[in-house]
Structure 1
Amino acid sequence: MERERRFLIPDVEIVNGLAVYLVTQAYFTYIDGYAYRLRVTARTNEENVTTESVDVAMKGPRRNGERLEDEKPLSDVALAKEIIDRWPYVVIKHRYWGAIDGEAWVIDVFHGDNEGLVIAELEGTDIWGMGRPAWAGREITRDPQYNNEILARFPMRKRYRDAEFANWSATVAAEIEDPTERDDPDY
């Protein structure tokens, strides 16, 4: 069972000093909240050597910040990259991780047709008692439009006309600055 809380992030500077790797994910199905994902992760060490890994995951519908997930490593990175290169529903992001305010956060900075989107995730079993961090924007835990499988199929650039997309970050920032109307007190 995956349990997480998710927040929009207004200032990407929060990732400064955190560890980072590149994630490329293809989503092959999305039906009634169920998804099948193929992911290639590229990590570069201090000696500037990049290693890649690949995994697949089956994911159930997200309900109240929880979803079933079964993830398995695969061995053929080259084959996975060939498949992802041919698939139309892909998410590319840099994933940062590290301690912020004493908690282990993951922050995804999206690229391509989701450029400008930054999402922080906190996973664990005891995550519901905390409030929204001061550095975080609107909570999106229960908002399916920000699920990766939805972002792959319906990226932000395609949700807005091109002229609107140029100002998309400003639109999200305005939404983030006053999250009180959208925050759910039951989180």
Structure 2
Amino acid sequence: MSEKESLEIERKFLVKSFNPKLASKFFRIVQGYITAEKTKTVRVRIKGEKGFITIKGQSSDDGLSRYEWEKEIPVSEVEALLKLCEPGLIDKIRYEIPIGEHIYEVDIFEGDNKGLIVAEVELSSKDETFEKPDWLGNEVTGDNRYYNAMLMKTPFSKW
């Protein structure tokens, strides 16, 4: 099983319009949170045919970066750990769309978050430039409401 740790730097945007034909690949993600606090989250997820456990630290003040540790684990272990999660699951389809030197991850949410579509782009530094396609809407980087851990607690349908 693979393991990675890194400083995650990403920008998050709402999506004005979306064409799934732009995607190089897509898959379903179902995830739950064993703990979801401001200072840290422990998440388990099934991403396509693979399982993962991820621990994330507190976001920087600008919301652009945070420490992340992730390990691939068997899907059967994720299914068992989902029983220990806080109430509320995140269910979404993720589309990966190459734009210039980057890959945008566009999440179309289902369930209590249906109607929400967000795009994230990972960067190697906070000041890295990147192409912004015309289907991007307002930037919501640093807006806690759009963190998956918060969407689990206060879904988009209840805003």
User: Shorter-chain-normalised TM-score: which range?
Assistant: 0.7 to 0.9
Decide which structure has the larger Cα Rg and report it: 1
Q: How many aligned positions are there?
A: 148
Label 1:17 to 1:133 Cα distance change in 2 as closer, same or farther (>3 A).
Answer: closer
In structure 2, distance between residues paired with 1:17 and 1:131: 15
1:20 corresponds to = 26
- How far residue 155 of structure 1 moved from its aligned partner, in angstroms, is 0.6
Larger relative helix fraction: 1
Larger relative strand fraction: 2
1:118 corresponds to = 117
In structure 2, distance between residues paired with 1:29 and 1:86: 9
- Which amino acid is the alignment partner of residue 155 of structure 2? P
TM-score (norm 1): 0.72
Q: Residue 4 in 1 paired to residue 1 in 2?
A: no
- Which amino acid is the alignment partner of residue 30 of structure 1? A
In structure 2, distance between residues paired with 1:85 and 1:156: 23
Structure showing greater relative contact order (alpha-carbon pairs closer than 8 Å, 6 or more residues apart): 2
TM-score (norm 2): 0.83
Q: Secondary structure at the match of 1:137?
A: strand
1:34 corresponds to = 40
Q: Secondary structure at the match of 2:136?
A: coil
**Runs (5+) with no aligned partner, structure 1:** 43-51, 160-187
- How far residue 99 of structure 1 moved from its aligned partner, in angstroms, is 0.9
1:53 corresponds to = 50
8 Å CA contact 2:18, 2:135 repeated in 1:
no
In structure 1, distance between residues paired with 2:150 and 2:115: 16
- Which amino acid is the alignment partner of residue 53 of structure 1? K
- How far residue 20 of structure 1 moved from its aligned partner, in angstroms, is 0.3
- Which amino acid is the alignment partner of residue 136 of structure 1? L
- How far residue 145 of structure 1 moved from its aligned partner, in angstroms, is 0.6
- Which amino acid is the alignment partner of residue 16 of structure 1? K
- How far residue 21 of structure 1 moved from its aligned partner, in angstroms, is 0.5
Q: Residue 106 in 1 paired to residue 105 in 2?
A: yes
- How far residue 103 of structure 1 moved from its aligned partner, in angstroms, is 2.8
Question: What are the within-5 Å matches in structure 2 for residues 136-175 of structure 1?
Answer: 136-159=136-159
In structure 2, distance between residues paired with 1:140 and 1:35: 20
- How far residue 133 of structure 1 moved from its aligned partner, in angstroms, is 3.9
In structure 1, distance between residues paired with 2:88 and 2:101: 35
8 Å CA contact 1:28, 1:89 repeated in 2:
no
**Runs (5+) with no aligned partner, structure 2:** 1-6
- How far residue 102 of structure 1 moved from its aligned partner, in angstroms, is 4.8
- How far residue 104 of structure 1 moved from its aligned partner, in angstroms, is 1.5
- Which sits farther off after the overlay, 16-25 or 85-94? 85-94
